[in-house]
Amino acid sequence: MTNTRPSEIQRFNLTFRIQHVILLVTFLLLAFTGWALKYPEPALQHTGWWIRLWGGAKAAGIIHRVAGVIMIADFVWHVIYVVSQLLTGKMKFDPVTTIVPVPSDIKNAVQNILYFVGLSDTKPEFGRYNYIQKFDYWAVFWGMAIIGLSGLVLAFPTTVAIFLPQWSANWIWEVFFVLHSDEALLAITYILIMHFYSEHLKWENFPMSMTWITGKLSMHAFKNEHPLEYELEMKENPGAFKNPGKS
């Protein structure tokens, strides 16, 4: 009985994992089909190989719209799920486990960067979500508000036009278009750099963190990357960690 400590903890339940997979698939579909429209290939005159890969401009347009609607539905499902979890008490607000930005995130960010450059000897101690993970999460809300709404406007222009004031009619469409396309570019590059580094390239995760499939996080990573949540778990649920010392 020297090692009864579980080697992994459950970080994300099945619902969250399904929501993430839907988000991931629709995000890629939207990015790939939208990219063709953002940068149409003029060199190959009407038949860029990329758009042919997606079945031509019409098919790509349909894929883009369907994926967009599924992504919005996924987002709505997520929000309803989280709110219901909070209301029924299955999820509780705690500064350590919350994904809501708290003042200590700013302190942690500064300390983390100081640690990176060697001006601080200690890493900041994170809770369940570090500031980058919080940024990742809320970026989706920002994206939904900006890209999702402008996408709906662009998908149903004649309906939306009924509600627009006349004085905005000359320029507002271009603004919607710019919002949709530029923020999408921001989302794609952000995911490509930050999310890819954290979940794929980072030493302990290379080539890929399996958390998105299993929902589990190794006890080692839990303790190292989320020490505050680890301590909280220890306090609230000491039975689960019979031998938290060296394994």
Partner 1 sequence: MKKFLLFLALLPVSLILLSPPAFAETFTCLACHGSMKGKIRTEKGSFIEVYVDEGRFSRSVHGGMGCTACHKTFKDNPHEAPNAEVARNITELASLISSKAQIDAVAYAACSECHSDTYKQVSESVHGRNVIEKKQHDGALCLDCHGSAHYIMPGQSRESMVNRANVVGACGECHEKEEIAKKYNLGTHIIEKYNESFHGKKYKLGHSGVPTCVDCHGAHGIKKWDDPASPVSWENRTATCGKCHPGANKKFVASITHKPTGKDNPIPFYAEKGLIVLTVGTIAFVIFHVFLEAFADIRDRVFRKNKEEHHD
Residue 82 vs 154, nearer CB to partner 1:
154
CB of 241 to partner 1, least distance (A): 16
- Euclidean distance between CA atoms 110 and 108, whole angstroms: 5
Sole window of 12-20, 21-29, 41-49, 94-102 interacting with partner 1 (rule: CB under 8 A) = 41-49
- Euclidean distance between CA atoms 108 and 96, whole angstroms: 13
- Euclidean distance between CA atoms 11 and 209, whole angstroms: 12
* 53 near partner 1, rule: CB under 8 A: no
CB of 232 to partner 1, least distance (A): 20
Q: Give SS3 for 40.
A: coil
> In sequence order, what DSSP letters do the residues of 168-212 get, joined into one string?
GTTTHHHHHHHHHHHHHHHHHHHIIIIIHIIIIISTTTTT--THH
Residue 6 vs 61, nearer CB to partner 1:
61
Sole window of 4-12, 23-31, 67-75, 156-164 interacting with partner 1 (rule: CB under 8 A) = 156-164
* 36 near partner 1, rule: CB under 8 A: yes
* 193 near partner 1, rule: CB under 8 A: yes
* 55 near partner 1, rule: CB under 8 A: no
Residue 94: both structure tokens together: 């705690």
* 161 near partner 1, rule: CB under 8 A: yes
Residue 90 vs 174, nearer CB to partner 1:
174
Sole window of 15-23, 36-44, 67-75, 236-244 interacting with partner 1 (rule: CB under 8 A) = 36-44
Torsion region of 3: left, alpha or beta (phi above 0 gives left; psi -120 to 50 gives alpha): beta
Residue 12: Cβ-neighbour burial (10 angstroms; 0-12, 13-18, 19+): middle
CB of 209 to partner 1, least distance (A): 14
- The position carrying tokens 């303790």 is 223
- The position carrying tokens 């080539």 is 207
Residue type, 25: V
Binding site for partner 1 (CB under 8 A): 36-38, 40-42, 45-48, 51, 56-58, 60-61, 113, 115-118, 132, 154, 157-159, 161-162, 164, 166, 169-175, 177-179, 182-183, 185-186, 189-190, 193-194, 197, 201-203, 220, 224, 246
